[in-house]
Amino acid sequence: MQEKVYGYWLPIDISTHGATVDWLINWLHVFMVALFLGWGVFFIYCLVRYRRRANPDATYDPIKGKIAKYVEYGVIVVEAVLLIGLSMPLWADFKHAFPDESDALVVRVVPEQFAWNIHYSGTDGKFGRTAPEFVSADNLLGLDPDDPDGNDDFNAINNLHIVKDKPVIAHVSSKDVIHSFKIPVLRLTQDAIPGQDIRIWFEATKNGAFDIACAQLCGLGHYRMRGQLTVESEAAFQAWFDEQSGAADEEDEFSF
Amino acid sequence: MSVEEIPHTVEPHPITGVYNGKFGIWLFLASEVMLFGALFSTLVLLRVGAPSWPQGSELLNVPLATLNTFVLIASSVTMVMSWASLKMDNFGRFKLYLGLTVLLAFVFLVIKYFEYTHKFHLGIFPSTSTFYATYFTMTGLHGLHVVGGIIVNLYLLFPGSKLWHTAPEQFANRIECAGLYWHFVDLVWIFLFPILYLL
Amino acid sequence: MAEHAHGDHGHHELPFWQKYVFSTDHKVIGIQYAVTALFFLLFGFCLMMMMRWQLAYPGQPMPWIGTLFSAVNMPEGIMVPEFYNQLGAMHGTIMVFLGVVPLAVGGFGNYVLPLQIGAPDMAFPKLNMASYWVFYVGGVIMLASFFVPEGAAQSGWTSYPPLAVIAPTGQTWWLWGMVALITSSLLGSVNFIVTTVQMRAEGLSFFRLPFFVWAQFVTAFLLLLAFPPLEAAGVMQLMDRIAGTSFFMPSGLVVTGQALDVSGGGSPLLWQHLFWFLAHPEVYVLILPAMGIVGEIVANNTRRPLWGYRTLVYSIVFLGFMSFIVWAHHMFMTGMGTTISTFFQATTMIISIPSVIILTAFALSLHGGSIRFTVPMLFCLAFIPMFAIGGLTGLPLGLTASDLHLHDTYYVIGHFHYVVAPGTIFALFAGIYYWFPKATGRMMNDALGKLHFWTSLIFMNGVFMPMMFVGMAGVSRRLYDQTQYAYGAQVQGLTAMSSWSAWLLGLAQIFFIVNFFWSMRKGKKVESDNPWQATTLEWATPTPPPHGNFKDTPRVCRGPYEYSVPGASSDFIPQHASDNGQVDQPESEPAPTPADDD
């Protein structure tokens, strides 16, 4: 029996940091609904009790509103707790607690209208130099042909393969307009901004194939800028990785 | 009588101490501060973010801009004098000084024109670099404000000055407001000049 | 009513075009604004109803309507993505800048504010007229942009570069249109502030101002100070598009395989900062006048003073001030660091407090009232919970951790539409039903109004509530076809439900349109100048108010909401009533203070 991936609420979470995000979203909604219902009961009570027929003469003096005051203080406290206790630590973790590059899979995410270029460094573990002037139909990343580091680099278009339980560091950038790298099951959104190289990290905890989406309007093909995230075992990943990298290397040798 | 005059068009409001027009022009200037403030912030952000930024004094014509600074300051002085002349009931001197203000504004634009066309002859356009983009955009927008000032002042100098004979105080108020605007345009240039040309 | 209007008015009949077209009378201008804005609201709504077809039935030809469009936009009735993006961008632009703001500020502000402060007109009537006509030109430019090659702007109402800079000509038209609209609201805001400060009637101190006037006053400051940075940004984007500069274009762009020939060195994020520095206060420009309207109508229909009038005023001023320092919460996912995001998260949480206070005050005002469920009151009562939903759903978006998942999803769309559509637009409907008798001398039809209300309430929720779940599932906004994604296909049913609700909501507006025009000619005539038995000064004028407004300059003796004062002979004492009786305890008000500077 396969677990349901997507539904009417949050999709399944396969990331290490997602649990906090989900916890926050779920409890925030409990808090919101409770506040709304509690307040709604008072609202409806007033509408019924103080309708003209039941209460022909209004009172001039205001009610004290002590409870309202306490509710407001409560709201302030809850917001402060959520902000300081949850949101800030998670964000700090997401922004600063990067895993060591040697323990992580490092990729470059360089979207263009309307595809995700996923740049892998190949078996040598070094990214080749890229520059706009080298971009062509069979070199979408613009790899410098004279840079030996780039020989075994490969571009897995619309295909992000990662290893289960191994952190991933992604350098997110863009070739043309602003895109946004969104993977709902990883609770991840990162704008891809041309001219910037933004480092993010995440770790997946479940094997499977999931959707990558663009979350920032990037033109007429925005809606079909779909990529696939494949989370697999170390062995499966390595096999795929070596094959791709070798193919890239060979191609280079033929062309020179 | 159902139709009445709008209060405080001429006489100041007892509490705020200003008439409507003056209050309005100050608010307008506040929004202008936000407009040019956004442009100056842009300049700062782009400059801080750029790997290298040229020295304005090496690319732009500092002597001409210095001359223009004095021209604008002089026009601000004549603007004040024209208002003061009205307050001293001297309509002829007012016309002279306001005419001078307009003339100086034209001088400023002519100098600006030479600066621009010289750049164009050298093949330098706003698209050349981000430095020139900010230079042309900011001085261009300032130039449009100068043109706006000229139009207002010309109106007040010729057809608008008829008001002096029917409502002298209201007319003096208009000159005061036009003056406030003109000083602001002057002030913007006084910020633009060092930031673009000297730094 | 007629004898008032035509009493001693015959001696300076203005020619038609001066009286109704190029009028300087704030009431005529207000009506011009309102009618134009209502047209644009309907137009923007139609754009959205077309988009909803594509969303509900992706790639299927649109019945009937599809055949009316050119083969470029809708070949064989099937909408192309470019056209979808145009509709999306223009829906946002038109609803915000040509619909809601002109109706709330230009329409109600112009018509009601001078009346409520006892002024004969706005401080600068000619400027007021100019403001309307510049707005009109901006609207025409926006409409005309649909007919330029490759159509209207299609980079979203936010127009993020580089996409907007490399977009077709329509974007240039959009920018010119925006320059006109910004200039218009600038002229308007100067006028509102000066009028409020300088022209209040004798005795009308700042703390006797109706809440509506306070709301408009704060709004005017937001418009005055927040719009110019967008104007600057618009000028720079125009330069990028026309003169080839690179304010927002970084180096090394490669578009569809071609290196872009620009000098580079610009910053795409700079646009976002300048845009949101405007557009967040803009959200409050949308909501504050609505709160003002609700305040007036709630007090009038509960027959008791608004709860915590001073608290409300302080809250709204604080809200206006805070709205300037929350803008970057729209940009949490642009790679923002911890320090800046903490600051903006904190300000975002803080700004929710005055909103909660305002809603609470409205709810507490009901307690002890004698509630009349008139049509305007129904819309206001719906505003309160609807705005609450809109406000509450802002919380998960205001915290970076939860925003990681919800950013730029349909949850955002649901959130701000709850604020603006069943929130603001309901309040604006309430305002129309409430002030219609003042402007025309006739009441709007009650039965049609109630039909309009209940159908609108149900379908509004039918449109926006599903979006919360669609967003929660992870569906990005601005997608031409969400079924491309597995999680989008999963919730496609909800999206179709939104669409059906939207079309039914469109049908429900027929009740309003019929009511509006029918009541203008055939509605029940008002029996007095004050049909709602209200306290504020606009009801002290003849109906409809003549040029110059008041027969005698009113003198204000008390606060704005003296309803059900113990011992008074009637349950309301107008602000200007000189007959004090034994009930009047003159408040020891300090002299009117100069303008609060926010």
CB contact under 8 A, C393 and A211: no
Average pLDDT value over all residues in chain C:
91
Cβ-based contacts of A57 with chain C (< 8 Å) = 370, 564, 571
Output the pLDDT for position B98: 97
Does residue C582 carry a pLDDT above 50? no
List, for residues C461-484, the tens digit of each pLDDT value.
999 999 999 999 999 999 999 999
CA distances from C461 to C141, C376, C390, C498 (A): 33, 19, 11, 9
CB contact under 8 A, C194 and B23: yes
* Interface check B171 vs C, CB under 8 A: no
Q: Which of A74-78, B20-24, C536-540, C593-597 has the lowest mean pLDDT?
A: C593-597
List, for residues C56-104, the tens digit of each pLDDT value.
999 999 998 988 998 999 999 999 999 999 999 999 999 999 999 999 9
List, for residues C300-355, the tens digit of each pLDDT value.
999 999 999 999 999 999 999 999 999 999 999 998 888 999 999 999 999 999 99
* Interface check B58 vs C, CB under 8 A: no
In this prediction, residues B158-184 reach a mean pLDDT of: 95
* Residue at C59: amino acid letter: G
Percent of chain C past pLDDT 70, that is, above it, reads: 94
List, for residues C179-204, the tens digit of each pLDDT value.
999 999 999 999 999 999 999 999 99
Q: What is the pTM of this model?
A: 0.93
CB contact under 8 A, C547 and B8: no
Give ∠ CA B192-B193-B197 in degrees, rounded to 5.
110
Round to whole Å and give the CA distance between B183 and B177: 10
CB contact under 8 A, C401 and A211: no
Cβ-based contacts of B21 with chain C (< 8 Å) = 124
CB contact under 8 A, C232 and B27: no
Helix (H, G, I), strand (E, B) or coil at A160: strand
Round to whole Å and give the CA distance between C144 and A110: 37
CB contact under 8 A, C474 and A60: no
Provide the strand spans (E) within chain A. Answer: 105-112, 115-120, 154-155, 159-163, 168-172, 179-183, 188-192, 198-202, 208-214, 227-232
What residues pair up with C216 in beta bridges, in sequence order? none
* Interface check C339 vs A, CB under 8 A: no
Q: How confident is the model at residue B191 (pLDDT cuts 50, 70, 90)?
A: very high
User: Chains contacting A with at least 3 CB pairs below 8 Å?
Assistant: C
Round to whole Å and give the CA distance between A116 and A103: 24
In this prediction, residues B167-187 reach a mean pLDDT of: 96
Output the pLDDT for position B199: 84
* Interface check C69 vs B, CB under 8 A: no
CA distances from B60 to B66, B118, C236 (A): 11, 10, 21
Single out the residue of C95, C31, C45 nearest to residue C510, CA to CA: C45
Structure ipTM: 0.94
Cβ-based contacts of C236 with chain B (< 8 Å) = 39, 42, 137
User: Chains contacting C with at least 3 CB pairs below 8 Å?
Assistant: A, B
Q: Among A42, A43, A62, select the one facing C308 at the smallest CB separation.
A: A62
List, for residues B35-64, the tens digit of each pLDDT value.
999 999 999 999 998 888 999 999 999 999
Single out the residue of C392, C424, C206, C199 nearest to residue C313, CA to CA: C206
Round to whole Å and give the CA distance between B196 and A92: 39
* Interface check B44 vs C, CB under 8 A: no
Output the pLDDT for position B164: 94
Alpha helix ranges (H) inside C155-267? 163-166, 170-198, 211-242
CB contact under 8 A, C232 and B39: yes
Output the pLDDT for position C593: 44
Strand A168-172 and strand A115-120: the pairing is unpaired
Strand order in the sheet with A179-183: A159-163, A227-232, A208-214, A179-183, A188-192
User: Chains contacting B with at least 3 CB pairs below 8 Å?
Assistant: C
Round to whole Å and give the CA distance between A249 and A254: 9
Round to whole Å and give the CA distance between A46 and C178: 44
Tokens of A223: 């809606």
CB contact under 8 A, A189 and C368: no
List, for residues C367-403, the tens digit of each pLDDT value.
999 999 999 999 999 999 999 999 999 999 999 999 9
